[in-house]
Every structure is written in structure tokens, then in C-alpha cells.
Structure 1
Amino acid sequence: MQPLRLALSLLFASLLSWHSLAEPFVFTAIPDEDETRLKARFDRVAVYLAERLKVEVEYIPVKSYPAAVSAFRNDQVQLAWFGGLTGVQARRLVPGAQVIAQGAEDPRFKSYLIAHVSTGLEPAETLPDAIRGMTLTFGSKSSTSGRLMPEYYLRQRFGEAPETLFSRVGFSANHSRTIALVQAGAYQLGTLNYAVWDEELAQGNIDPDKVRVIWTTPPYPDYQWTLRGDVDARWGAGFAARVRQALLDMDDPELLAAFPRSAFIPASNADFEAIAETARAIGLMDE
């Protein structure tokens, strides 16, 4: 009986080990553009990562920025393409989580303030007094480029909250919708990620006779890849380093267009402390 028990124990251990290796590695991304478009793009990224990491990789879409943070916190995903603020929020909730890469453009990211042409506003170096009393839509409430940084600079310029500065303030949920709302005249003003604006403009989705960029924020750090701290224990020693290297090695323009970025570069948690400080300064995050 003893040899049989030993054999069964070894078989059981082997099955457990196989199950661990078979566990899919899952990632998500904040839904800063149209969900259908993002899924088609990120599914290709999943194929690339699976080939590089030699494990099953899945991309799962989420409906909102807070949903991306919750999925990371609840271990539904182990890797996420976050904005600056959502990344800070997620890492506070998951001890050991680390920034492992960011886009080459992300250390000096920027936001646009756009206006419907009926406002008569023209591009300017400083935020114009004439925006007072107009209607404005931010992006998601948790968006760095669509809400946090534009709100910070609006408060800095006018010394008051958006709710008193504007006659109506909304939240569009994503950058593409911000453009659509302002272009349609539903809001006079909108704030958004410059890269989404540039992409939509290149694709012919923006009518420059209806909406234009009137102001650009100073640069700030934004998007990044954040990885849970327990992946080496689950997928083997060195797995985190392999994930990081796979991202840094990504050079296929079609894959990079999913973000869109020209390349990925090294990054760390410390690079986003300024984002945390800004969020605390305007009351979007406590100590």
C-alpha cells in the first residue's frame, strides 16, 4: 500500500503543478476609447505575449476605469495598462504591485482642451477667461488626461472648482466620446488625451469645422503597465522580468498602435508619485 500511496501522492502533486502552469495570465486596459476597437487591438497583444511568455494569455475588456482597478485588486487580471491615476489607485490596493513599463511618450504626456466652434474660442497659450460659465465635459472621473490634470490646471488658473467655474460639468466615460459630445454641440468644451485626438483626427473622425483644440496642458507622466507582485510565485521565478522584457521588446507598429505608442520604456512606481500628489491636492485621493 505504501508504494501505491506514494504514487498517488506524486500524481496528485503533478496534477497540481500542471494546473498551476495551465492558469491563464490575464491582462486588461482602461477603456479610454471605443470598447470594440480596443478588444480587436488588445487580442493581438495577447497573442504576442503568449508567444513570448509561453503561457496562455487572455485580454479581458472592462466597462469603466474603476472596473479596471477592481479587476486588478480582485486578481481577475494580473497585468493592466492603466492611466496615471488608476495605476496609483490600483497599486495602493495591491501591495507589491509594480510599474514595469510605460510608453515612450508617457513621461511627457499632455491633455487638450477642445471647444465647439460656436464658442468662438481660438487656440491660446493660456486658459482664456471666456471659458467661464460655459459647459464642459471631462472624460472618466478617474482619467488622468481626461480629468485629473486638466482639472488641476483649471483650478490653478481660476482658483475655483470646475462646478463653480462652468455652468454644467459632465463625464463622458472615454476620450472618443468626449470628442463626439463636443463636436455635436452637447458640450461647449471638453478635456481629453492628446493621443486619442491625434488618432481620431488622422482617421477622419473629427470635423475641424465643428471642433478644435484651444489649449494644451504642460507635460506630466501618465499611462503605464502595472503588474501584480505575486506572478513569480504563480508562473515561476523570473516571470515578472520576462513580462517586462516582452513589453520593452514590442516593436511591431500594428501592436503598438493598440495604445498608441511608438515603443515601451522602463518605468517604476516612483515615476508616478507626482500624480498621487496632484490627486491628493485636488481631493481625488486621500492620504
Structure 2
Amino acid sequence: MTHSVLHTFKSALTAAMSAALLLAAPLSQAQNQVFRVSAIPDEAPTELQRKFKPLGEYLEKKIGMKVEFTPVTDYAASVEGLINKKIDMVWFGGFTFVQAKERSKNQVTPLVQRAEDEKFHSVFITTKNDIHKLEDLKGHTLSFGSESSTSGHLMPRSYLLAAKINPDTDLKRIAFSGAHDATVAAVAGGKVDAGALNISVWEKLVAEHKVDPAVVRVFYTTPGYYDYNWSVRTDMDPALKKKLTDAFLALDPKNPQDKAILDLQRASKFIPTKAENYTAIEAAAVNAGLLKK
């Protein structure tokens, strides 16, 4: 084989190998691609991981990608993670969704929510015999959850303001526990006189006998409001968006495997949602001075 023929053969072989590698790259990337999911840290990280595991395994089968749960340290990190493409889908509270929508200039889309999130509630709890209504909180200490929590801060604050109680001036002291279960622990342990939290976490703790409702009691339940949702970036591939939405909507409580997933999510079923559902939350946040427009 002459030098020129050998050179041509090598060049052709190199070109063929390069083409083969190029063709293989998208395939291997798709196989190695990880779909990253997170949630606002409104409960202990171990609890969030436990709740998500069966749902993550279910979603893997439905979207054909590896699904990983990525915990975040605070509510703001869940917003930044989604906007900066470090996370692909987040379980937001209503207020955190509004913050993400505002921060991203409307580049966040809510896909689904639990049926329960159409009319969600917060509860106010206490161990004190002299607290029976919101007005009785004057001069007492109160714990909210996280500052960015819808059900643990924004909506309880907005119902206090509606009852003509300014938590910052009418209460002896307010605290932020960081999570709903931590609020219950603070009230039960006597660190504060009262607390406000998400009704579903309260009901879960009572059902698991982690709190005695005869000692720590609910004295006020808020009216219903829209709350949690699963959100993605607006620029996500529409086909993937549809696969995710369909996967959530297909969860059937009559199927034992699906019911186990739904129970961990404290959901009877998932339903579609849209950004317009959260306009009341946005208005409440602006009114409470927690969102600057």
C-alpha cells in the first residue's frame, strides 16, 4: 500500500470513527441524562427523601430517564435551583411558586397539584388554656414555619392581619421554626405559646401519634386557598412536560401501588393546575409586604 493510499485510508477510517462517535453521543447522553427533582424543605430532609422515593421510581419508568432527588437547604435555593437549571422539577408551595414566577419573569410553569391543594388550609395550634381564637394571641409568642412558606407563614399572617392583629407589633415575639414539624415541636415543648402550620402535616403527625391533640390542640383553621404544586421551567421540552403531567394524572388510588405513592404524597389524586390559580396568593404576599412588585 503506497503512502498516499495509506494516508487516504487512515483519513477515511478516522472520519468514519468520528461520525460513529457523533451518532453514539446523543444516545449515550440520553441514557446517562438525569432528571433532577427537589422540594421546598418544609419537613425534615429524611422525610422528604422517604416520601419521594416510590414516586421517583414511578417517574423513571414513565419518562425513561434516571430520576434523582436533590435536597436543598432553604426555600430560596429551590427557586434558584430551578431557574439556574440545576434542578428540573420542584415541589413548590403556592408562595414559593409566586416568588419563582416573579424571580424568573414568568419562566416557571406549574404542571399539577394534589386535589387537596385546591382548598388547602393552615391550622393554628396551642397548649395554652387562654388561647381560643386569633385575637387571644395578642401578647403571646408565636412560631411560623419558614419565612417563604405559604401555609406556615404567608397565609397565617394574612388571616392574622384580616383579624386586625399585626404579628410584628401585637404579639410578644414571633419566631420562624423553618419547617412544619419543627413548629409543632416548638409548641409542644413550650418554646412558644402557639404556632401556625400546614394542615396535612398536622394530620399526619396526629395519625402517627407524634403529637397528642389533647395536649396540643387546634384553635383556628383558615379558610381554603390554593397551595402546593409541581413546577418546571417554561422552556422544558413540551414532550417531556406532557409525559410528566400524564404520569401524575395517571396515578390511580384504586391501584395498590399507585395508592402507596399517593398516600406518601398525602394526595387523593393529582389534577392539572395553572399559574392563574395563584393570583390570590400573590395578592396576599404583596398585601403582607412579603413580595415587592
Of all paired residues, the percent bearing the same amino acid is 36
Name the structure 2 match of 1:13: 22
Deviations 1:97-150 (A, max 9, x none): 21110000101101001111x34333x5xx3x3210100000000000000001
Aligned length: 277
Name the larger-Rg structure: 2
In the superposition, the TM-score normalised over structure 1's length comes to: 0.91
Match of 2:198 among 187, 193, 199: 193
Q: Determine the C-alpha separation between the residues in 2 that align with 1:41 and 1:231.
A: 25
Name the structure 2 match of 1:214: 219
Match of 1:228 among 218, 224, 233: 233
Indicate how the Cα distance of structure 1 residues 197 and 66 shifts in structure 2: closer, same or farther if over 3 A, else same. same
Task: List aligned pairs for 1:90-101, cutoff 5 A.
Answer: 90-94=100-104, 95-101=106-112
- Deviation, 1:4, is 4.1
> Helix, strand or coil for the counterpart of 1:257?
helix
> Helix, strand or coil for the counterpart of 1:230?
coil
Q: Determine the C-alpha separation between the residues in 1 that align with 2:14 and 2:277.
A: 53
In the superposition, the TM-score normalised over structure 2's length comes to: 0.89
Match of 2:37 among 17, 27, 32: 27
The code of the aligned residue for 2:180 comes to H
Task: List aligned pairs for 1:72-151, cutoff 5 A.
Answer: 72-94=82-104, 95-116=106-127, 118-122=128-132, 127=134, 129-151=135-157
Deviations 1:215-261 (A, max 9, x none): 011111000010112331xxxx5111001111111231221123211
RMSD, matched Cα = 1.7
> Helix, strand or coil for the counterpart of 1:105?
helix
The code of the aligned residue for 2:211 comes to I
Name the structure 2 match of 1:57: 67
The gaps in structure 2 that reach 5 residues or longer are: 1-7, 253-257
Match of 2:276 among 270, 273, 276: 270
Contact 1:25 1:55 in 2 (8 A): yes
Contact 2:115 2:269 in 1 (8 A): yes
Q: Determine the C-alpha separation between the residues in 1 that align with 2:263 and 2:45.
A: 15
- Deviation, 1:13, is 2.5
Q: Determine the C-alpha separation between the residues in 2 that align with 1:12 and 1:84.
A: 45
> Helix, strand or coil for the counterpart of 2:195?
strand
Q: Determine the C-alpha separation between the residues in 2 that align with 1:192 and 1:286.
A: 24
Runs of 4+ more than 6 Å apart? none
